[in-house]
Chains A and B, each alone.
Chain A
């Protein structure tokens, strides 16, 4: 299956703490992307990490990629209540650019 698996499915932390979400695939990872979705809203592109990269930073976001384990992690440092959302990983699949999404992690940051 190309389906992405994410864990944890739900995460609840206090403001200021770090949040780590993990994503794994059974197929090879290419140009893995992370998206945020606020409840009932659209998908906001956060960061893309290419298959030849191991780590990437963007502001408070840090993404790592382990192609041998076919897995990626998203770390949000110094979380804020506004980070409360669902986070999805998405793997580029095939030669048409389609994305295979993970199940998502629902993050709640308590003020």
Chain B
């Protein structure tokens, strides 16, 4: 069964450093998303991506965040200058429409 994959599973970085989280969505899906979950809290929407552009972003998704689909298969989330409060699980998701399938997540720890 096709699945969404994410790398790395765990990323540790120093505050102020740039990180890139990678995702490979399910191949025939058209809509791509990033969500995050701070430890013990609910899952929060960050950004949606369709037709090679951002279709919606949340208040959390400020100028330090960016997304790309550089080669038609990978979907990346870049955090330019990480802060302590960026420590969270980051989930990529993809869908045809509506029924979203999530990757296993990347645990980002900012020290």
Contact = CB atoms under 8 A, between A and B. Distances in A.
The number of chain A residues touching the other chain, given as a range, is 20 to 34
A61 interface: no
- Of B45, B89, B101, B104, which is in contact with the most chain A CB atoms at under 10 Å from its CB? B45
Interface residues of B, number: 25
Interface of B: 31, 33, 35, 42-45, 48, 50, 55-56, 89, 91, 93, 95, 97-105, 107
B91 A98 contact: no
A100 interface: yes
Interface in A17-51: 31, 33, 35, 40-45, 48
Chain B interface SS verdict (over half): strand
Contact of B31 (A31, A33, A96, A103): A96
Contact of A92 (B91, B98, B104): B98
Interface of A: 31, 33, 35, 40-45, 48, 88, 90, 92, 94, 96-104
